[in-house]
Amino acid sequence: MSDCCSANAKAGTAPAVMPCPVNGARSKQVDTLTVRSLVRQLLLGMSNTQYYFCEARDCDVVYFPFDAQAPVFRREDLLVRVGAKEATDPIPVCYCFGFTRKDIQDEIADTGRSTVAGRITSEVQAGNCACEVKNPSGKCCLGDVTKVVQECMRVMRGDRAVDRR
């Protein structure tokens, strides 16, 4: 089983968090394996610099380097849609098992609850996740799934305070 869904401290000289060079959003480190797995066309001899993931919806940048000489990668450079940056369906929430925001909304509309987080947890326990190479953030999706479920439940109850992320 991969360690993508467990705490994993990164060592090195690059800071854990950097501001996005385009919009200043707080951006966390992402493993080079994630970048190499999801960028459409990598340059030969791409440097092994630390990259950061910008999840701000209003920013086209997905990955930016600690080393200013390395390339920046934008939404169109990735092989997958970046759920954190999308406003129209299908909005990916779980990259390993293909769950979308609409899947969660539909299940809640039909049953009043969502089983998606439990289903993902079972798959993770079975050793079937690959977040580090499938999820643009490089981390486990369960936090994002929980946020989407909570948002959908608020909408169903008619609450006005909805986070559209």
Rounded to whole angstroms, the Cα distance separating 75 from 59 reads: 9
* Residue range 115-135, pLDDT digits in tens: 999 999 999 999 999 999 999
Report the CATH number at residue 106. 1.10.10
- Among candidate residues 59, 77, 95, the one where a domain is terminated: 77
The boundaries of the domain holding residue 152 are 83-157
DSSP labels for 95-133?
A: TTTTEEHHHHHHHHHHHSS--HHHHHHHHHHTT---HHH
Give pLDDT, residue 160: 53
Give pLDDT, residue 8: 38
Contacts for 51 with CB less than 8 Å, ≥ 6 apart: 29, 30, 32, 34, 35, 63, 64, 65, 66, 70
33 neighbors 51 (Cβ within 8 angstroms): no
Report the domain count for the chain.
2
- Among candidate residues 77, 104, 123, the one where a domain is terminated: 77
Rounded to whole angstroms, the Cα distance separating 10 from 90 reads: 32
Q: Give a yes or no: residue 165 inside a domain.
A: no
Give pLDDT, residue 10: 44
* Residue range 42-95, pLDDT digits in tens: 776 677 899 999 999 999 999 999 988 899 999 999 999 999 999 999 999 999
